[in-house]
Amino acid sequence: MKRLLSFTLGFLAAIGGFLDVGDLVANSVSGARFGMSLAWAVPVGVVGVMLFTEMSTRVTVVTGRSTFDLVRERLGARAGLVNLLACYLATLLTLAANIGGIALALELASSIHYLLWVPVAAFLSWFVIWRVPFQGMERTYGLLGVALIVFSVAVWRLGPDWGALLDSATSFAPPPTEPWPTWWFYAVLVLGAAMTPYTVLFFSSSAVEEGWTAEDLREARTNIFIGFPFGGFLALSIMACAAILLHPAGVNVHELDQVALPAAVALGKVGLILAVIGFFASTFGASLEVGLAAGYSIAQYFGWTWGKTTAPVRAARFHTVTLLGFVAATALILTTVDPIKVTEVSVILSATTLPLTYLPVLVVANDRGYLGSLVNGRATNILASLYLVFMLALALAAIPLLVFTKGGQ
The answer, yes or no, to whether residue 14 has pLDDT greater than 70, is no
Name the helix (H) or strand (E) containing 211.
Answer: none
CATH number of 2-404: 1.20.1740.10
The whole-number pLDDT of residue 350 equals 87
Give the ranges where 303-377 is alpha helix by DSSP (H).
Answer: 316-334, 339-365, 368-371
- Region 17-33: mean pLDDT is 86
The answer, yes or no, to whether residue 8 has pLDDT greater than 70, is no
Give the ranges where 35-157 is alpha helix by DSSP (H).
Answer: 41-63, 67-75, 77-110, 114-131, 134-137, 143-144, 150-157
SS3 314: coil
The whole-number pLDDT of residue 115 equals 95
Length of the chain: 409
The answer, yes or no, to whether residue 202 has pLDDT greater than 60, is yes
How many helices and strands (H and E) does the chain possess?
A: 19, 0
Domains of the chain by residue range: 2-404
Q: What is the largest CA-CA distance in the chain?
A: 61
User: Would you say the pTM of this structure is higher than 0.85?
Assistant: yes
The answer, yes or no, to whether residue 9 has pLDDT greater than 60, is no
The answer, yes or no, to whether residue 46 has pLDDT greater than 80, is yes
Rounded distance between C-alpha atoms, residue 278 and residue 313, angstroms: 35
Q: Name the region of 148 (left: φ>0; alpha: ψ -120 to 50; beta: rest).
A: alpha
Tens of pLDDT along 349-362? 888 988 888 888 89
